[in-house]
Structure 1
Amino acid sequence: MPFISKIQRQTDYNRFPSSTPIVIDNGASYFRIGWAGETEPRVIFRNIVQRPRHKSTGETVTVVGDHDTALLKHFDCTRSGPRSAFDSNVVFQFEIMEYILDFAFDRLGANGSRIDHPILITECVCNPVQSRSKMAELLFETYGVPSVAFGVDAAFSYKYNQQRGICQKDGLAICPGFTTTHVIPFVDGEPVYRGCCRTNIGGYHVTDNLKQLLSLKYPHHMARFTWEKIEDLKMEHCYIAPDYALEARLFLKGSKEAEDKTRCWQLPWVPPPIEEPPSEEEIARKAAIKERQGQRLREMAEAKRSSRINELENQLHGLEFLLQQLAQVEEEEISSFLSKTGYVSKQEIESTLTKVSQSLRKAKGESKVEQAENEEKADSSTSDKYPLINVPDNMLTPEQLKEKKRQIFLKTTTEGRQRAKQKRFEEELEREKKTREDEERRLENPELYLEQMRTKYKELYEKVEQRKRLKTNGGHANGNNSGAVGRGERLNAAQRERMRLLTTAAFDRGKGEDNFGAKDEDWQLYKLMSKDNDDDDDGADEDEAELAWVCSRLQAIDPTFVAKPEPTPSQVATTEVPRVRLLTKEDFQVVLGVERFRCPEILFHPNLVGIDQAGLDEMTGASIRRLASKNEALEDRLTSSIFMTGGCSLFPGLNERLEAGVRMLLPCGSPIKVARALDPVLDAWRGASAYAANLQFQQQTFSRVDYYEKGEDWLRRYQLRYTL
């Protein structure tokens, strides 16, 4: 399978003899490989594998380690995410491990699949024999290595720093790694595995906790919180608090010390362009363009209106000519003549003529008074449409009686329409008159008129609002109703009066016999209860219409007027419409405050993320008790050299916090010294490289022949000695 990577391939593989071991630090986070005796590994990459498909060809490729996002945009990664061969620092996915080893040997410079060099590979403390057996099987049968040795990474780091005086022969090695944390006691330079402790907490959980906290705090920037960026923020800004509770109270109070400890990550932000006001030339140019556009629209509207008028005039002349021809046609030939024209009767032609005339007058823009006079003339001219209405029924045949009923219906409908039209016309004239008079009053004294309109609007608004509150809450118009509102309180005055009358009649009837209706006065109750007496809503409609007119009038004459929100029965006070705010530089800032020490605190209190296990200080005390419960001298030697290694030991304040936590578990006066590795990340590989460069290293390995002869039982008893 083809590989995608940014790691440069080594070219000096053939210069090393087959006796030179290859050193592999197989960590859960990073994979490091190089030659024994060197101080730096040759190849370092993330210990993950991803196998996406190409979007165009569909070919599956293998992406190992740190991938280039510019290349991955051509691949479909939705169904294949990054996968690790580890589960709680134990290798269990050997298919993925084979991809990683293929890539590592290829980057080291190996030309074929066979590796003729001894291998020293690291593993976790007390690695299960099944995982060790599968790893040996993979190295022996797939790559054909001559011999293999397994060692603990933390032990190699301890021995490497022991040679440089950082720690002593007797001590504790604490390794907070990527997914697990181990505590290994050393006696006379050798690890004592019966005193080891382990907890499933590490740097992965710290990064994941920080990612979740920032995602909850800034959900609109969640896409920017990638794993790599959160890892960088963790290593750059996080620290271990000397006292977690005290540090949290500092940030809760918002003291000056907390502000000094707060860090800010500025996301990319481009300020919006500042719009300058247009110049006078630009305003004049836009006004000229707008005027030309308006003139063109007016010309188009005028041309369309002229075309419409010509069309209606031609149609009107045609209908008049048709009526003239129809008058000259004899009675017997009318039906045949009408069948050629498409009309059914003479009344239909006259009705169409009336409609065309009205449309023509409307198109020409005649005044409403002229239209009304023309309509009256048209109505008087069509009075002879119903000749059978005034004829007695005994003088008509059955067919004529049916026609008379139809003419009566048509005349009644027409008269109703005319009355409604006349009423609308009179109302419009009244409105125009009122508007004209109102405008005259405004022109006489604009300031006084505006003040009067504002006062009137306020009074009408309060009146309408009060009426709607009464409908909702009954008599509690002032809003002081503290209890529940019953059905009777939600009724208006007329409805409450009807309920009172019903209650009174029922109460009187319950006193004796049911004699309601015996007296004429009893039937007056129905008149009192009639809905016709409920004219409470009529005034409400008039007030709302008046309020709408005053509001529209104020909006027309006062540019500063803002109408109040319309009150509703279910919601008297409406919420303000949210305004759109432009994003500023502060909106693209990620502030790291309490998260700086809250995330790494899970190393001492794993229960903060729901893991019910011990912290670093408790694990240290448990490991000391397992070995030195009855030997105070050994206890003092162990606590005098507490060694920190692993990526999480780089957190500032970790040594001081661990020393304070262990001191609380030991007797007063116990010697305690906590030291950190020279390089907590690479010292494990350097220690393994120095160990493999020793001439006695071959005695600590087992060959491929021994593996085939002794099998898995020999691997179970295999244990590397770190003192050569």
Structure 2
Amino acid sequence: MAELLFETYGVPSVAFGVDAAFSYVYNQQRGVCDKDGLAICPGFTTTHVIPFADGEPAYKGSCRTNIGGYHITDYLKQLLSLKYPHHMARFTWEKVEDLKMEHCYIAPDYASEARLFQKGAKEAEDRTRCWQLPWIPPPAEEPPSEEELARKAAIKEKQGQRLREMAEAKRSSRINELENELNGLEFLLRQLEQVEENDVPSFLSATGYVSKQEIESALLKVTQSLRRTKGEPKGDQAEAEEKTDPASTEKFPLINIPDNMLTPEQLKEKRRQLFLKTTSEGRQRAKQKRSESELERERKNQQDEEKRLENPELYLGQLRIKYKELAEKVEQRKRLKTNGNNTNGNNTSGGVGRGERLSAAQRERMRLLTTAAFDRGKGEDTFGAQDEDWQLYKLMSKDNDDDEEGPDQDEAELTRISSRLQEIDPTFVPKSELGTSQPVELPRFRPLTKEDFQIVLGVERFRCPEILFHPNWVGVDQAGLDEMAGVSIRRLTPMGQGVEERLTNSILITGGSCLFPGITERLEAGIRMIRPCGSPIKVVRAMDPVLDAWRGAAAYASSSQFPTQTFSRADYYEKGEDWLRRYQLRYTL
């Protein structure tokens, strides 16, 4: 700095000083502290302790810690950002600095103060501060007026009337179409009765129908559709016709007639009747099978309900055991089928071969195929040389896979037991849902309130300034304020007897970070813990901890002896910058 000032800017002379020393001398002249004492200055980035002897600073006993107001603000900013991450943009450096100077304090006993907030006592509520962020309440939703309700009702009624009119027009158009089709079919039947028997095939080919029964079936369908469209009540005959499949009421006279006795048109009609009869019978069988399965299911459910009513706990336990066995069985079968598609950790085929994935019948077929040739050729592969060898495939085809029908039955039974457990046990979760990740339920929308924009300062008020006494909380492995005072006192002990008592009897704290409430009492209690019992300890605060350093330096610069105690430009060129390092400032004001 001297090189910059002298060589670049041509400054005639320079005097260097320490802010804590200037503040101590300024307060000493006003009777706040004695000539012998300690100046403790927790500043912005560092904290200094400078002992004074006979009014002059003894720099050989001073010490420094890299902790200050900057670290307190940064620590408070981090805590608030973690506590309120959705308001992180609000925590600017300037605002956190204001919160620190306005609300933070030094706790007399940190542990007991923290226990108060942990218990949620009344004292903790009194010491909690709240910072309200800008918040605009949402506009209150007013109920609609009677005129608005009437207007909406009129619009709704108008729209409903329009839909009803459209539906009625569509219904009328459909009725007209069905009536026209019905009249056409009736007219066609009347004409068919007047046609001679030999001219019937040619007449039907011109109309697009194959037989009279087909026309009658189409007439029946159109009649039923027309009745449903008009909304007419069903009579007994209509219900019987609807319940009975039209294909089942049709007569199939050509089925039992040999083909050589039929004409080509009749052969075509016979094939159509065979198809209709087969389809009708298939539908009837499927319907009967469904009804039988439903009856069997109802019977099982009734039996299960009787067992449950007799002993609910035993029934539930047995049902869970059965569900577990079936689930393991189905899972094992699926695993055997798909095991070969998986790979192990070496990126090779799975450890289970294809034979293990096959069913019992399939494994038996493989055994027959692999042993047939050697059994016949006595070690030589001559399988297929004779026609009888190929009868082996017919033998294998007769072996139906009885075990292939099992998986469908097991899965159906597993589904039935699972649905039954879900009905009677609300805590039951199907096994298929356990392996899959449950869908995360989105939080319900809640309108923001005034409390959502409040920043509550509780433990943070005294936790952040506590790093002045415990710098290791923020990763600074150095001593706190009270320990630093003890270090400076021990360094000046060889100066003579009684020095320690004179130093502790006048301890001045200065600097911006000593403005926290309670720091004087806390520092005095900390120093008393490291001093012998009965030692005089007096801690005072500077009159203006922020500006007393500037006032002391201004008084020093305005004194008449100031020019004789500066380091001039001539001294710099003559003695060099090394001499400046040994320069000692004496505050002879």
> The TM-score by the shorter chain falls in which range?
0.5 to 0.7
Equivalent position of 2:436 in the other structure: none
Q: 1:199-253 deviations in whole A, cap 9, x for unaligned? A: 2222223233333444445555555444333322322222222222333344445
1:396 Cα deviation from its structure 2 partner: 7.2
1:180 Cα deviation from its structure 2 partner: 2.0
Q: 1:399 to 1:365 in 2, by over 3 A?
A: closer
Equivalent position of 1:151 in the other structure: 17
Residues in 1 aligned to 2:180 and 2:573: alpha-carbon distance in whole angstroms? 115
User: Quick check: 2:5–2:11 contact (8 Å CA) kept in 1?
Assistant: no
Q: How many residues align?
A: 483
> How is 1:264-663 mapped onto 2 (pairs within 5 angstroms)?
264-268=130-134, 282=145, 285=147, 288-289=150-151, 291-313=153-175, 315-316=177-178, 362-367=228-233, 372=239, 375=242, 379=246, 383=250, 389-392=255-258, 408-413=274-279, 469-470=316-317, 473-474=320-321, 568-569=428-429, 589-629=454-494, 631-663=496-528
AA aligned opposite 2:63: C
User: Quick check: 1:473–1:489 contact (8 Å CA) kept in 2?
Assistant: no
Residues in 2 aligned to 1:346 and 1:196: alpha-carbon distance in whole angstroms? 124
Q: 1:578 to 1:461 in 2, by over 3 A?
A: farther
1:156 Cα deviation from its structure 2 partner: 2.3
1:671 aligns with 2:531: no
User: Quick check: 2:45–2:71 contact (8 Å CA) kept in 1?
Assistant: yes
1:604 Cα deviation from its structure 2 partner: 1.2
1:616 Cα deviation from its structure 2 partner: 0.6
Residues in 2 aligned to 1:199 and 1:361: alpha-carbon distance in whole angstroms? 100
**What SS does structure 2 have at the residue aligned with 1:184?**
strand
User: Quick check: 1:617–1:662 contact (8 Å CA) kept in 2?
Assistant: yes
Which of residues 553, 557, 565 is equivalent to 1:688? 553
Equivalent position of 2:57 in the other structure: 191
User: Quick check: 2:34–2:506 contact (8 Å CA) kept in 1?
Assistant: yes
Q: 1:227 to 1:395 in 2, by over 3 A?
A: farther
Q: 1:186 to 1:530 in 2, by over 3 A?
A: closer
Q: 1:314 to 1:626 in 2, by over 3 A?
A: same
Tell me the TM-score normalized by structure 1: 0.52
Q: 1:257 to 1:407 in 2, by over 3 A?
A: same
**What SS does structure 1 have at the residue aligned with 2:492?**
helix
**What SS does structure 1 have at the residue aligned with 2:530?**
coil
State the identity %: 62
1:286 Cα deviation from its structure 2 partner: 5.8
> How is 1:709-724 mapped onto 2 (pairs within 5 angstroms)?
713=578, 716-723=581-588
User: Quick check: 1:182–1:199 contact (8 Å CA) kept in 2?
Assistant: yes
- Alignment root-mean-square deviation, CA: 5.7
1:295 Cα deviation from its structure 2 partner: 2.6
1:181 aligns with 2:35: no
User: Quick check: 1:468–1:568 contact (8 Å CA) kept in 2?
Assistant: no
1:185 Cα deviation from its structure 2 partner: 1.9
Residues in 1 aligned to 2:412 and 2:290: alpha-carbon distance in whole angstroms? 23
Equivalent position of 1:247 in the other structure: 113
Which of residues 208, 215, 235 is equivalent to 2:101? 235
User: Quick check: 2:308–2:316 contact (8 Å CA) kept in 1?
Assistant: no
AA aligned opposite 1:185: P
1:404 Cα deviation from its structure 2 partner: 5.8
AA aligned opposite 1:658: L
1:170 aligns with 2:56: no
Q: 1:153-199 deviations in whole A, cap 9, x for unaligned? A: 22222232223222233322111122221112233444333322222
Residues in 1 aligned to 2:221 and 2:14: alpha-carbon distance in whole angstroms? 106
**What SS does structure 2 have at the residue aligned with 1:151?**
coil
Q: 1:49-84 deviations in whole A, cap 9, x for unaligned? A: xxxxxxxxxxxxxxxxxxxxxxxxxxxxxxxxxxxx
Q: 1:271-302 deviations in whole A, cap 9, x for unaligned? A: 66677777xxx45x566445424432332222
1:354 Cα deviation from its structure 2 partner: 8.3
User: Quick check: 1:235–1:651 contact (8 Å CA) kept in 2?
Assistant: yes
User: Quick check: 1:265–1:591 contact (8 Å CA) kept in 2?
Assistant: yes
Identify which of structures 1 and 2 has the higher relative contact order when contacts are C-alpha pairs closer than 8 Å and 6+ apart. Answer: 2
**What SS does structure 1 have at the residue aligned with 2:540?**
strand
Q: 1:688 to 1:352 in 2, by over 3 A?
A: farther
User: Quick check: 2:43–2:68 contact (8 Å CA) kept in 1?
Assistant: yes
AA aligned opposite 1:602: I
Q: 1:309 to 1:488 in 2, by over 3 A?
A: closer
AA aligned opposite 1:632: Q
Higher helix share: 2
Equivalent position of 1:210 in the other structure: 76
Residues in 1 aligned to 2:465 and 2:113: alpha-carbon distance in whole angstroms? 13
User: Quick check: 2:79–2:460 contact (8 Å CA) kept in 1?
Assistant: yes
User: Quick check: 1:606–1:615 contact (8 Å CA) kept in 2?
Assistant: yes
**What SS does structure 1 have at the residue aligned with 2:533?**
coil
Q: 1:461 to 1:488 in 2, by over 3 A?
A: closer
Residues in 1 aligned to 2:219 and 2:22: alpha-carbon distance in whole angstroms? 110
Residues in 1 aligned to 2:282 and 2:143: alpha-carbon distance in whole angstroms? 59
Q: 1:336 to 1:181 in 2, by over 3 A?
A: farther
Residues in 1 aligned to 2:326 and 2:282: alpha-carbon distance in whole angstroms? 42
AA aligned opposite 1:165: G
Tell me which structure has the larger Cα radius of gyration. Answer: 2
**What SS does structure 1 have at the residue aligned with 2:41?**
strand
**What SS does structure 1 have at the residue aligned with 2:543?**
coil
Q: 1:175 to 1:345 in 2, by over 3 A?
A: farther
**What SS does structure 1 have at the residue aligned with 2:17?**
strand
AA aligned opposite 2:108: P
1:359 Cα deviation from its structure 2 partner: 6.2
**What SS does structure 2 have at the residue aligned with 1:632?**
coil
Unaligned runs of 5+ in 2: 292-304, 329-402, 432-440
Residues in 2 aligned to 1:716 and 1:405: alpha-carbon distance in whole angstroms? 122
AA aligned opposite 1:306: E
AA aligned opposite 1:656: E
Residues in 2 aligned to 1:649 and 1:668: alpha-carbon distance in whole angstroms? 26
1:394 Cα deviation from its structure 2 partner: 6.3
Q: 1:672 to 1:420 in 2, by over 3 A?
A: same
Q: 1:541 to 1:189 in 2, by over 3 A?
A: closer
Q: 1:697 to 1:334 in 2, by over 3 A?
A: farther
Residues in 1 aligned to 2:164 and 2:517: alpha-carbon distance in whole angstroms? 83
Q: 1:230 to 1:404 in 2, by over 3 A?
A: farther
User: Quick check: 1:305–1:363 contact (8 Å CA) kept in 2?
Assistant: no
AA aligned opposite 2:112: L
Unaligned runs of 5+ in 1: 1-131, 426-457, 476-485, 492-525, 548-563
Q: 1:619-658 deviations in whole A, cap 9, x for unaligned? A: 1101111122462332233222211111110111211211
Residues in 2 aligned to 1:351 and 1:146: alpha-carbon distance in whole angstroms? 125
